[in-house]
Amino acid sequence: MTGKTISEKLLSEKSGDDVRAGDYVEAEVDVMMTHDVTGPLTFEVFEDVTGDDPELVDPDNTVITIDHHAPADGVEAANNHNIVREFADEYGAQQYDVGDGICHQLLVEEGFVSPGDLVIGADSHSTTFGGVGGFGTGVGSTDLGTTLATGELWFRVPETLRFEVEGDLPDGVYAKDLILKFIGDVGFDGCTYKTAEYGGSAVEELPIHERLVLSNMAIEMGGKAGIVAPDERTVDFLEAQTGERPEIPAYTRPDDGAEYEAVHSYRAESLSPQVSTPSNPENAVPVDEVVGTEIDQLFVGTCTNGRYEDIRVVADIIEGERLAPDTRMVVVPASRSVYKQMMDTGVMETFVDAGAIVQSAGCGSCFGTHQGVLGDGDVCLATANRNFPGREGSMTSEVYLASPATVGASALYGEITDPREVELNRYDDYVLEGVGA
């Protein structure tokens, strides 16, 4: 018998069955999350199935955020916010409000996710939690609403694609460039129903904020989960965030000889900064193929690249400069902690002085309804995760996806610019400063 992947081991543990890829299980879920868009439908389902005696099975691990239409961009959205608040209040769920941040960032910052946890979110980017060694996956509102009542959900045990990167990443190449490259190589549906397992020495060297990027965008190749095996850095990071040091369960490491559907191997030194052209994340090309493309708007933020370290990379590039004429830059921190850190370190001032717009924490224009939507024919370069037609506004607008470094460099010239043209920094997780990691 061959060895097992992380997904096979974790879902065996959570279901109590000895399962392999292709099996169906009902597994115990550790953390459940929904937000102001998918929440109201989730609550209807929960109340439908629980009948006369509605009770959350695990209120301490039921998290509800207000991040998509935050602050409210209309009366209906504001009413939905009140539905979230009333539900959380009535049933004792953990609720975060307007300005607290994006659901995926909050679950990590607030210590809800530990290595080995099975986490479901009524949001497709719930794959993010693989960056701290959890099995995170996006589900619908019916899935989530029933699980709030039962604590368990059905899963098909996924096959696994392994992405191995060995060596040292060159200047200008970040986790965002890796994941755009992976998506470009396997395609927009290349990992559908499957887990992406990321490994190799270059991945092991990545700080947690960059591992989260790899996991976050697994969904952009159809992935059910995207996991980096947790290590000492993971638990150092979580301890620094919460004061508690979690264990690393044995089932979060793949067996030797685990059976992968495919292994994609890369040499780090051969990789270059990537840009995904409109209108699909799979359209990844080396940056030099699109250098010179004129940009109207730059967007720095989202659950992919809205962390402090991402924003700092951009700030370092534009510090003391002005945005290129005829461009706008919108910065949306992923959480209030990120926002605070920007204030404490002078990053906020850098953006304001450069002529950028800094908004309150949340999903921003990645949700396409507010805080900087695009008009007809507008071209945006974004640190976001999706560039579908109309994703950030008009159906005739265009979105290019890239790393914070590429967005920062491009802000100086008003056109897509190779980040290796400017001086670049790379940051370890700031919460680990002084921890001795």
Partner 1 sequence: MTDADAGRDIDTTEPGRAWTFGDDIDTDQIIPSRFLVSSDPAELGEHAFNDLRPEFAPNVSDGDFVVGGHNFGSGSSREHAPLSLLGAGIDGVVAQSFARIFFRNGINLGLPVLICPDADRIEDGDAISLRLAEGAVINHTADERYDADPLPEFLQTLVDRGGLEPYTRAKLGTE
- Kindly list the residues in this chain that would bind partner 1 in the complex (CB under 8 A): 24, 37-38, 40-41, 44-45, 48-52, 69, 74, 76-77, 80, 121-124, 126, 138-143, 146, 149-150, 154, 156, 188-189, 192-193, 219, 222, 224, 280, 367-369, 386, 388-391, 395
Cα separation, 300 vs 426, in Å, equals 16
Question: What DSSP designation does 182 have?
Answer: H
Tokens of 266: 């890369």
Report in angstroms how near the CB of residue 142 gets to partner 1 at its nearest. Answer: 4
Structure tokens at 110: 């607030």
Identify the CA nearest to 261 among candidates 195, 216, 198: 195
Q: Shortest approach of partner 1 to residue 222 CB, angstroms?
A: 6
The C-alpha atoms of residue 350 and residue 355 are separated, in whole angstroms, by 9
Shortest Å, Cβ 377 to partner 1: 15
Tokens of 285: 């090309």
- SS3 for 227-276 is EECCCHHHHHHHHHHHCCCCCCCHHHCCCCCECCCEEEEEEHHHCCCEEE
The sign of the torsion formed by the CA atoms of 297, 300, 303, 304 equals positive
Q: Which amino acid is at 22?
A: G
Task: Output the six-digit token pair for 123.
Answer: 């949001």
**For partner 1, the closer CB: 395 or 435:** 395
Residue with tokens 């309804």: 369
Kindly tell me which of 189 and 288 has the beta carbon lying closer to partner 1.
189
Query: Do residues 412 and 422 touch, judged by C-beta distance below 8 A?
Result: yes
Supply the minimum distance, in Å, between the C-beta of residue 296 and partner 1.
20
Of residues 37 and 324, the one with the C-beta less far from partner 1: 37
Q: Which is nearer to partner 1, 48 or 289 (CB)?
A: 48
Task: Choose between 233 and 391: whose C-beta lies nearer to partner 1.
Answer: 391
Q: Judged by CB, which is closer to partner 1: 158, or 246?
A: 158
Give dist(CA 269, CA 251) in Å, integer: 31
CB of 181 vs partner 1, minimal distance in Å:
19
CB of residue 159 to partner 1, shortest distance in Å: 12
Shortest Å, Cβ 431 to partner 1: 29
415: amino acid identity, one letter: E
CB of 251 to partner 1, least distance (A): 22
> Cα 74 vs. chain centroid, distance in angstroms?
26
294 contacts 379 by C-beta, under 8 angstroms: yes
CB of 396 vs partner 1, minimal distance in Å: 10
Distance CA 24, CA 37 (A): 29
